[in-house]
C-alpha cells in the first residue's frame, strides 16, 4: 500500500515528445506536496502502476493518446472502461493501464477508482520537448487532475 489516498501517475517518456505530458503533470502535482497525494512518473509498465496505486482510493492516470483525427492538446477525462474498444484513440504505450488492471485484480492491488486524463498528442517521435499545442494544454491538464484529486480528498474530510 502506498499510504496515499490519491495517486497521480504520469505515464510517459520525456524523450518521445508529447509522450512527456504525463510526467510533466505528475511533476507539477508533486511540487504542490499535497497531503495524502502521491505523484509518480511511470513508463507504463504494469507492475510499476500496481506498486504506485495499490490501496489508494483514487488513481488519476495522465497519459498521451493518439487519435484519428487528432486535435493535439485536447483533454479527455475518462475511465479505463470507456477507452476499451475505442478505435479512434490509443495510449502511446504498447503495455500499460489495460494490462495492469487484470493483473492488479488478480493480485488484489487495484485502487478503489481509476480515472484517466488523456491528452491528444501531436507527435510521439524521438526528441525532447512537448509540441506547442500539447505544451499549451499542460496547465489545463493539471487543473483537471487536481479537480479529481480534490473530489476524493474533500469527500474524506
Q: Which residues are within 8 A (CB) of 108 and not within 5 positions of it... i.e. 6 or more apart? A: none
Per-residue pLDDT of the chain (157 residues; tens, 9 = 90+): 445 699 999 999 999 999 999 999 999 999 999 999 999 999 877 778 888 888 899 999 999 988 888 899 999 999 877 765 443 344 555 446 667 777 888 888 889 999 999 999 999 999 999 999 999 999 999 999 999 999 998 877 6
Cα(53)–Cα(42) distance, rounded to whole angstroms?
11
* All three cell numbers of 11: 505515464
Question: Is the distance from CB of 149 to CB of 111 less than 8 angstroms?
Answer: no
* All three cell numbers of 69: 483525427
Name the pTM for this structure: 0.88
Amino acid at each position: 500500500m502506498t499510504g496515499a489516498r490519491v495517486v497521480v501517475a504520469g505515464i510517459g517518456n520525456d524523450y518521445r515528445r508529447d509522450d512527456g505530458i504525463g510526467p510533466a503533470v505528475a511533476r507539477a502535482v508533486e511540487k504542490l506536496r499535497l497531503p495524502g497525494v502521491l505523484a509518480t512518473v511511470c513508463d507504463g509498465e504494469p507492475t510499476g502502476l500496481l506498486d504506485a496505486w495499490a490501496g489508494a482510493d483514487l488513481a488519476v492516470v495522465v497519459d498521451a493518446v493518439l487519435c484519428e483525427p487528432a486535435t493535439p492538446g485536447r483533454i479527455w477525462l475518462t475511465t479505463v472502461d470507456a477507452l476499451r474498444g475505442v478505435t479512434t484513440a490509443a495510449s502511446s504505450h504498447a503495455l500499460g493501464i489495460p494490462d495492469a488492471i487484470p493483473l492488479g485484480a488478480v493480485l488484489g492491488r487495484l485502487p478503489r477508482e481509476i480515472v484517466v486524463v488523456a491528452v491528444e498528442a501531436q507527435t510521439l517521435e524521438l526528441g525532447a520537448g512537448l509540441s506547442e499545442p500539447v505544451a499549451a494544454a499542460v496547465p489545463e491538464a493539471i487543473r483537471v487532475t487536481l479537480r479529481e484529486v480534490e473530489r476524493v480528498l474533500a469527500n474524506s474530510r
